[in-house]
Amino acid sequence: MTFAVEVRNLVKSYNGITAVNGVNFKVKEGEIFGFLGPNGAGKTTTVRILTGIIKPDSGEIRVLGYDIEKEPIKAKEHLGVVPETSNTYVDLSARQNILLMAGLYGVSKKDAGERADELLRKFNLYKRRDDKVKGFSKGMKQRLILAMALIHDPQLLFLDEPTSGLDVQSSYLIREMLLKLLDEGKTIFLTTHNLEEANKLCGRVAIISHGKIAAIDTPDNLKKMIKKLNLVELTFEKPVPLEELYKLDEIHNVEIKGDKFYLNTDDVNNLMLALTEYVSLKNNKIISFNTLEPTLEEVFLDVTKEVSSDD
Amino acid sequence: MTNVHLEQLKRSLVIMKKDVLIYYLKGPVIIFGILIPLFLFLAFLSGSKNLPIDFLVAGLIGMTMLFTATSVSPVITPWESQMNTLERLMSCPISISTLILGDMLASVIFGTLISLVPVLIGFILGVSIFHPIILVLGIILASLCFSALGLLLATPPTNVPSNVMMVSSLVKFPLVFISGIFIPLENMPFWGKVIASFSPLTYFMDITRYSLQNSSYYHIILDFGVMIIFTIILYSLAVFLHKRTLQMRI
């Protein structure tokens, strides 16, 4: 298997504070790799090191086969970067901003013009192409920043919080574009706070907390990881006293929210049989029965809590 | 020159174009680039009516060059950092020397073009140019040298342009007084000449006086040689220090 990014024992400190502490991971070619973590966990520092913006204290990083410390320019030629705090040149037009990037990535003038127009169309900015960016909304600016990152048709994209604080339309457009890029075989390294976004887009997700990787796997496997007990949501036709449910051996815990009961069990099948017997005895009925999976948010909170308590 | 170097040079020109469009082609920048040295010159003129006009015009060219070539270049990096565009530039496949060279070339164009204004004033006042080619070469070399100085002044890792402007003024104004603009080198005491020899502006003033008055304190070859050495040292030092401080701005 070929890896677009390989990180071994990455360490970076600022003024005695360790921002990234022995991070290891690999990003496969042609996947969207999500990089999640709370504020100050070391996400942006990691992205800045991987994109050659800052140097690590120690560790080995290979990006598209290049050692980012020894051959930063060769590696950067093939990267598209949307930094977290990135901005456009507001005194230039949208097209001028894209062409500036084209020049800095060595794209020929002819190709740059054609590709700039194509990207402006894709990101719904073509009508405003000659307007100064000063008057653009945040969503338009962010779409432009992504277009700037794509001008040289990079193999690998680093996106640091690309949809943070954007309107629904812009977020949707960017997410759709990322999926199209994935279909074209690009690799995408996505840093996000939006767990739903990571769940929908990412093939694999790494969760970083306190400068360490707390978990790394597919979103589904991560959810299974904390699925120590199954959660069942059900409603009854008639009211059920809580103490009666606790008498059933299969139930570990019960919570009531509105008319819904949330039961924790380690055997859904036996719980179902026990409940069927119980309702027929009590002349009651089960109206709905759903088994619930933990959300990525719960996984996130669980693993970041574990790392935090380890410290 | 290898392909890699040629490609980096092309990207320096892209940075240069960006700087010209964003930072230099602004009315206030151009007007202040001309007005500040002009006011200094008029203040000087009103107090020294017995000095020959060609001496004064040479001084005006020197001051204009120093003030224009170091006017914008020191604040570009703090500005870019403050506007969150620096990180984007640093993620591009360009070396720090490419970035600095681009900033320097923009400043060279600005310094060279604005310095033609006092040359025109000289024409209007009837000053004749004995060595026009030497003057043009001197202006280009001086704009390179003072632009490199401006970029060196941009190296403290602050993102507040006014801090850099303050440091920049602390360096520029003393240079004006020690470089033979107001007092010819030959009239300076020995210690004054020693101090003046450490200023690149001294050698540019000598070149302009040679061009306008047909006489110089040092040999003209020495003036050019020392200015080239100053340019190389200032540029190398600016690149070296930017490599150390640029990451601190992010």
Every domain of chain B and the residues it spans: 3-249
Number of domains into which chain A is organized:
2
The reply to whether A172 and A34 lie within a common domain is yes
Residues with Cβ < 8 Å from A61, sequence gap 6 or more? Answer: A5, A6, A7, A8, A10, A49, A50, A67, A68, A69
The reply to whether A112 and A204 lie within a common domain is yes
The reply to whether A168 and A188 lie within a common domain is yes
- Examine the fold and report which residue of A167, A196, A220 is the final residue of a domain before the chain moves on: A220
Question: Rounded to an integer, what distance in angstroms lies between the CA atom of residue A164 and that of residue A190?
Answer: 12
Please tell me the predicted confidence (pLDDT) of residue B61: 92
Question: Rounded to an integer, what distance in angstroms lies between the CA atom of residue B149 and that of residue B72?
Answer: 11
**Secondary structure (DSSP) of A68-129:** TTTSHHHHHHTEEEE-TT----TTSBHHHHHHHHHHHTT--HHHHHHHHHHHHHHTT-GGGT
Span B205-211, average pLDDT: 95
Q: Mutation test of the interface with chain B: which of A68, A71, A73, choosing the one with the most B Cβ atoms within 10 A? A: A73
Question: Rounded to an integer, what distance in angstroms lies between the CA atom of residue A2 and that of residue B240?
Answer: 37
Look at residue B121 and tell me whether its pLDDT is greater than 70.
Answer: yes
**Helix, strand, coil % (nearest 5) of chain A?**
40, 30, 30
Please tell me the predicted confidence (pLDDT) of residue B50: 74
Q: Kindly list the residues of chain A whose beta carbon comes within 8 Å of any beta carbon in chain B.
A: 48, 51-55, 72-74, 76-77, 79, 81, 83, 85-92, 96, 100-101, 103-106, 145, 148
Span A238-248, average pLDDT: 86
Judge: B247–A55 Cβ closer than 8 Å, yes or no: yes
Torsional sign, CA B175, B180, B182, B187: positive
Span B4-24, average pLDDT: 94
The reply to whether A210 and A233 lie within a common domain is no
| Ramachandran bin of B127, using left for φ above 0, alpha for ψ from -120 to 50, beta for the remaining angles | beta
The percent of residues in chain A predicted with pLDDT above 90, rounded, is 52
Residue A302 belongs to a domain:
no
Nearest Cβ partner of B92 from A89, A90, A104? Answer: A104
The reply to whether A115 and A133 lie within a common domain is yes
Least confident of A124-128, A181-185, B182-186, B191-195: B182-186
Please tell me the predicted confidence (pLDDT) of residue B161: 81
Domain that holds residue A77: 3-220
Residues with Cβ < 8 Å from A220, sequence gap 6 or more? Answer: none
Least confident of A142-146, B28-32, B169-173: B28-32
Confidence of residue A209 (pLDDT cuts 50, 70, 90): confident
- Examine the fold and report which residue of A189, A204, A220 is the final residue of a domain before the chain moves on: A220
Q: What is the pLDDT of residues A23-57, one digit of tens each?
A: 999 999 999 999 998 888 889 999 999 999 999 99
Axis crossing angle, helix B220-245 with helix B96-124, rounded to the nearest 10? 140
Please tell me the predicted confidence (pLDDT) of residue B125: 85
Question: Rounded to an integer, what distance in angstroms lies between the CA atom of residue A113 and that of residue A107?
Answer: 10
Span B227-238, average pLDDT: 96
The reply to whether A123 and A239 lie within a common domain is no
Judge: B88–A83 Cβ closer than 8 Å, yes or no: yes
Higher pLDDT, B217 or A87: B217
SS3 (DSSP) at A253: strand
Q: Which of A223, A192, A220, A98 shows the shortest CA–CA distance to A153?
A: A98
Confidence of residue A163 (pLDDT cuts 50, 70, 90): confident
pTM of this prediction? 0.84
Instruction: For B44-113, give the secondary structure using H, E and C.
Output: HHHHCCCCCHHHHHHHHHHHHHHHHHCCCHHHHHHHHHHCCCHHHHHCCCCCHHHHHHHHHHHHHHHHHH
The reply to whether A187 and A160 lie within a common domain is yes
The reply to whether A180 and A148 lie within a common domain is yes
Indicate the average pLDDT of chain A: 88
Residue A134 belongs to a domain:
yes
Residues with Cβ < 8 Å from A72, sequence gap 6 or more? Answer: A52, B93
Judge: A87–B85 Cβ closer than 8 Å, yes or no: yes
Q: Which residue of A has its CA nearest to B85?
A: A87
Residues in chain B closer than 8 A to A54 (CB atoms): 247, 250
Span B202-206, average pLDDT: 96
Structure tokens of A164? 């943070």
Q: Which amino acid is at A185?
A: G
Q: At A182, phi and psi to the nearest 5?
A: -60, -40
Please tell me the predicted confidence (pLDDT) of residue A311: 52
Question: Rounded to an integer, what distance in angstroms lies between the CA atom of residue B149 and that of residue B69?
Answer: 9
Residues facing A66 on adjacent strands = A63
Contacting B residues, span 73-92, partner chain A, CB-CB under 8 Å: 83-85, 87-92
- Measured from the Cβ of residue A146, the count of other Cβ atoms closer than 10 Å reads 25
Q: What is the pLDDT of residues A105-115, one digit of tens each?
A: 999 998 999 99
Nearest Cβ partner of A53 from B22, B85, B87? Answer: B87
Residue A62 belongs to a domain:
yes
How many helices (DSSP H) and strands (DSSP E) are in chain B?
11, 0
Look at residue B63 and tell me whether its pLDDT is greater than 60.
Answer: yes
Residue A49 belongs to a domain:
yes
Q: Which of A215, A212, A160, A169 shows the shortest CA–CA distance to A190?
A: A160
Residue A202 belongs to a domain:
yes
Look at residue A117 and tell me whether its pLDDT is greater than 80.
Answer: yes
Which of A243-257, B42-56, B189-203 is the most confident on average? Answer: B189-203
Span B221-249, average pLDDT: 94
- Measured from the Cβ of residue A258, the count of other Cβ atoms closer than 10 Å reads 6
Torsional sign, CA A89, A95, A96, A100: positive
Judge: B90–A53 Cβ closer than 8 Å, yes or no: yes
CATH (domain of A238): 3.30.70
Residue A139 belongs to a domain:
yes
Nearest Cβ partner of B250 from A48, A72, A89? Answer: A48
